[in-house]
Amino acid sequence: MTSTLIIIKGGRVVDPSQDIDKVADVLIEGKNILGVDGGVEREGATVIDASGKIVCPGFIDLHTHLREPGFEYKETIATGTLAAARGGFTTVCAMPNTSPVMDSRAIVDFVLGKAAAEGVVRVLPIGAVTKGSLGKELAEMGELADAGAIGFSDDGHPVADTNIMRQALSYASVLGLPIINHAEVKSLSEGGAMNEGWVATRLGLKGIPNSAEEIMVARDIELAELTGGHVHIAHASTAGTIELVRRAKENGISVTCEVTPHHLTITDETVMGHLRNGGPFDTLTNFAYDTNAKVAPPLRAREDMEAMVQALRDGVIDFIATDHAPHGTVEKHTSFQEAANGISNIETALGSLMALVHSGDVPLPVLIDRLTASPARFLGRNDLGTLRAGAAADITIIDPDAEWVVDPSKFASKGKNTPLTGATLRGRVVTTVYGGEVVNAC
């Protein structure tokens, strides 16, 4: 940039934090926003023409797997943050299932140092709940909080021991931070490869019942009420989970939850390969048993997906988080039963989600809120997820009608594992501004 003064001109500015939805200009000076106004002219300013585009605060992803340290063949902080920028995300929260696990100040310091040196967007670390994420002994949670952890999770390794979870919630409540749990009763999901239902039966795969998630959600809500701690339900996927969260919120229990783009937009029928087949959902083709559609929790039935959309619209679901989970080729080019769980989706998230806007299922301001202002509230950050004067100059510009074909070979992420290969999406991030600098433009 030749100027520290930038005007993003003539776009539809959508900022739910201020109830703004109008055509206006956004003025940036240095690393901060000066304000939102109309007809702004400043001599020497760099102008970004946003006519016909949507201008909103930079997206915040509270559930991202950056894989570094330890699994750099899957992703690095450099590639993961570049992928995030392409997806419109200016803040990502890094999950602790690295090697070694992010259960000490040393690992948090490493991640933050790497992010400062090589990242292109903001990285906030999530510390482990237990040492090594083994579920046996609490990690040094106070030390992790002091180092910058925004919460605690053993994601991928549910905290199975009820007493450990009770202790974690009690301790985290003193620190004012949430416990983010992957809700899964392993004794119910063990051996399962996908959602329990007609698709699993048709494919001859052992299914994972909804109850495997819902029983642990119910337990965690009870423990949150007992301890006064804040439990956050990661990647909610079933109608039963939504009902439990709804009732808990009505009873004043400190519980929040997130949903992923894939649990909002595709179902277990995707494992049949129908996204690429285009034929009847029960027709087996060469694209069936698509391991890129294997994820935890599994893609659910259509009625569960519809419940997720309704809960997102109603506010029962607090925000959208990608659960971006890049894998190497070897983990996915195997049998469905043996394949790793996870979808590389931070670059396709907005394109997938815009289908809900175009269909009328979710109003655009609601979608933007669940990607910006709502996760910022969860973090307790009034400088993020907003276009208020003085806030960080993190801005995402969207072309809502741009059609593009998903080609994972062009991903910035090392993870090419997406079930959306070849799908045409409508809606694309065209510019991402982080801290007053353009970090993505297409």
323 has catalytic annotation: yes
Six token digits for residue 205: 């795969």
Helix, strand, coil in percent for the chain, rounding step 5? 35, 25, 45
Residue among 3, 5, 9, 11 at smallest CA distance from 33: 5
pLDDT recorded at residue 18: 97
Domain regions of the chain by residue span: 58-384+402-425
pLDDT recorded at residue 286: 72
250-269 burial code (b ≥16 CB/10 A, e <16): eeebbbbbbbbbbbbbbbbb
Q: What are 264-290's pLDDT values in tens digits?
A: 999 999 998 866 544 455 566 677 899
Total-model pTM = 0.96
Residues, the chain, total?
A: 442
What's the rounded Cα separation, in Å, for the pair 356 and 353? 6
- In order along its 442 residues, the chain shows pLDDT tens digits of 345 899 999 999 999 999 999 999 999 999 999 999 877 778 888 999 999 999 999 999 999 999 999 999 999 999 999 999 999 999 999 999 999 999 999 999 999 999 999 999 999 999 999 999 999 999 999 999 999 999 999 998 999 999 999 999 999 999 999 999 999 999 999 999 999 999 999 999 999 999 999 999 999 999 999 999 999 999 999 999 999 999 999 999 999 999 999 999 999 999 988 665 444 555 666 778 999 999 999 999 999 999 999 999 999 999 999 999 999 999 999 999 999 999 999 999 999 999 999 999 999 999 999 999 999 999 999 999 999 999 999 999 999 999 999 999 999 999 999 999 999 999 999 999 999 999 988 7
What's the rounded Cα separation, in Å, for the pair 180 and 158? 10
Structural fold of domain 58-384+402-425:
TIM Barrel (3.20.20)
How crowded is residue 19: how many other Cβ atoms within 10 Å of its Cβ? 8
Catalytic residue among 61, 154, 290, 323: 323
What's the rounded Cα separation, in Å, for the pair 123 and 106? 16
What's the rounded Cα separation, in Å, for the pair 365 and 15? 8
Query: Degrees (nearest 5) of the Cα angle 92, 100, 384?
Result: 15
pLDDT recorded at residue 156: 87
Would you say 84 and 60 are in contact if contact means Cβ atoms under 8 Å apart?
no
Six token digits for residue 98: 């690295």
Q: What are 377-403's pLDDT values in tens digits?
A: 999 999 999 999 999 999 999 999 999
Cα Rg for the chain, rounded, in angstroms? 21
